[in-house]
């Protein structure tokens, strides 16, 4: 039977994938023998393979193996993964790195990290509340605060934990949080843990945001609006001026997750506020990460002093977590300095991003709503096609990751190209050309299922 759209039904897909999985299942059963005092609960409840999603994951792997697809994830990079990388003793043009300004491995950045190891060691060993501060922590925080003209800043060991912890602590059961439907998982999880009422609005549809707040704002105490500065799946940006106007009219806080915006947006890479030409102090909460442009790992919040004081004393993700590793803090601080002194890196990134977008459009590739700054998707509309295209490009020496369902809706499955300041014009043109060439002849999921059905017993 079909699903009404020309493909196989869900039941048929399940059956075919199960048959593919059974081809590998040759190991004997490890179930324990039945004993006189049998457990009072179903033994499956202690079997990790019964966890939600595990079986689907195994079937997808079996499906990929039948089709001869290599797993594109968890590849081992044998050197610094910049515009070029080395995987399996082979060189690749790399479009899967967030090192937007090429600062990971920069001599000044590396030297700062090494000096911090010599002075402080590799760890603070405990939370900063009990183990104390290191000068490099405050140097980094003050540098980031200055970037946003904020009163203060706090850094944490994980960008994901920063959003989960801060969003989860700022609002509660009597409050409202409203966020873009494409917001990062960390914000969505933080919102869920907060207990606040949650509403999402269609991506970058600020009319929908306005309508939501007009309809329900008066029912709640505090309200928090959360958007991203540069959306990591689509490479587009929100209208910051209108967001500020909306949050002021409805008495809400505005939080901008600028994780991908720092180093990319604005002439100096200072993020969404510079890109929009707006005073950054009009945004209540700036969030960002150290792991992309700043060549480190961790997250930060910049904003008013009372907010930062609250986080440092009340948010579990900071209070109960080890402090940021000193060499990581030193590396990020040095990278911030290089970015400020060398705006030509940002200029080069903007030129490369625009070149990639223009080349993709000339080739007729679907790039969605990308602004062509550093992130450009090539939308295939089907997970299998995205996986096949990634595999074909890998065989030609291009490392680019597929984004598959359920990370995005099936109709929006894609390859996601990250462009950096260090890519050459030749790399960019060649990658786009190879992508367009390899798109020819990609098979659909339904056709692949039918082929597998013919081959399996």
- For the annotated catalytic residues, the residue numbers are 232, 260, 292
Report how far residue 427's alpha carbon sits from residue 22's, in angstroms, rounded to the nearest whole number: 42
Query: For tokens 């081809």, what's the residue?
Result: 23
Report how far residue 58's alpha carbon sits from residue 20's, in angstroms, rounded to the nearest whole number: 10
DSSP-derived secondary structure letter, 8 = B
Which run of H or of E encompasses 211? helix 206-216
Q: Which positions ≥6 away from 14 have C-beta within 8 Å? A: none
Report how far residue 245's alpha carbon sits from residue 249's, in angstroms, rounded to the nearest whole number: 6
| β-sheet bridge partners, residue 449 | none
DSSP-derived secondary structure letter, 2 = B
- Provide the CA 384 distance to its chain's centre, in angstroms: 21
* CA proximity to 140, closest of 332, 396, 315: 332
Report how far residue 172's alpha carbon sits from residue 455's, in angstroms, rounded to the nearest whole number: 55
Report how far residue 114's alpha carbon sits from residue 93's, in angstroms, rounded to the nearest whole number: 29
* CA proximity to 307, closest of 162, 173, 436, 185: 162
Report how far residue 318's alpha carbon sits from residue 165's, in angstroms, rounded to the nearest whole number: 8
DSSP per position, 289-353: ESSSTTSS--EEEEE-HHHHHHHHHH-HHHHTSPPPPHHHHHHHHHHHHHHHH-THHHHHHHHHH
């Amino acid at each position: 039977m079909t699903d009404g759209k020309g493909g196989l039904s869900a039941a048929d897909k399940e059956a075919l994938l199960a048959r593919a999985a059974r081809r590998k299942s040759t190991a004997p059963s490890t179930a324990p023998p039945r004993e006189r005092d049998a457990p009072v609960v179903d033994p499956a409840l202690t079997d990790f393979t019964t966890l939600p999603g595990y079986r689907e994951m195994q079937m997808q792997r079996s499906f990929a193996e039948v089709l001869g697809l290599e797993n594109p994830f968890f590849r081992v990079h044998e050197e610094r993964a910049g515009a070029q990388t080395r995987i399996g003793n082979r060189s690749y043009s790399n479009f899967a790195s967030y090192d937007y300004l090429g600062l990971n491995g920069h001599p000044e950045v590396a030297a700062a990290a090494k000096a911090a190891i010599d002075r402080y060691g590799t760890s603070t060993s405990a939370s900063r509340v009990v183990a104390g501060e290191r000068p490099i922590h405050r140097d980094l925080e003050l540098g980031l605060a200055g970037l946003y003209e904020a009163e203060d800043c706090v850094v944490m060991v994980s960008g994901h934990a920063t959003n989960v912890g801060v969003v989860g602590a700022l609002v509660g059961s009597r409050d409202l949080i409203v966020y873009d439907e494409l917001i990062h998982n960390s914000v969505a999880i933080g919102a869920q843990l907060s207990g606040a009422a949650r509403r999402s609005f269609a991506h970058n549809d600020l009319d929908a945001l306005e309508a939501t707040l007009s309809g329900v704002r008066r029912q709640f105490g505090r309200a928090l609006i959360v958007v991203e500065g540069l959306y990591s799946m689509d490479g587009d940006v929100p209208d910051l001026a209108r967001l500020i106007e909306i949050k002021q009219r409805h008495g809400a806080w505005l939080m901008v997750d600028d994780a991908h915006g720092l180093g990319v947006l604005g002439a100096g890479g200072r993020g969404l506020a510079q890109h929009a030409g707006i005073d950054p102090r009009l945004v209540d909460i700036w969030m960002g990460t150290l792991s992309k442009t700043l060549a480190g790992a961790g997250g930060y919040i910049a904003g008013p002093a009372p907010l930062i004081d609250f986080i440092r004393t009340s948010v579990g993700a900071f209070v109960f977590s080890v402090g940021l590793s000193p060499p990581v803090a030193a590396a990020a601080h040095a990278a911030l300095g290089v970015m400020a002194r060398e705006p030509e890196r940002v200029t080069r990134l903007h030129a490369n991003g625009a070149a990639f977008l223009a080349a993709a459009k000339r080739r007729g590739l679907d790039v969605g709503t990308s602004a062509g700054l550093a992130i450009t998707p090539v939308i295939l509309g089907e997970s299998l096609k995205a996986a096949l295209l990634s595999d074909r490009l890998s065989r030609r020496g291009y490392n680019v990751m597929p984004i598959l369902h359920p990370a995005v809706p099936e109709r929006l499955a894609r390859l996601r190209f990250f462009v950096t300041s260090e890519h050459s014009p030749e790399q960019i043109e060649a990658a786009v050309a190879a992508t367009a060439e390899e798109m020819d002849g990609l098979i659909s999921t339904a056709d692949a299922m039918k082929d597998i059905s013919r081959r399996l017993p």
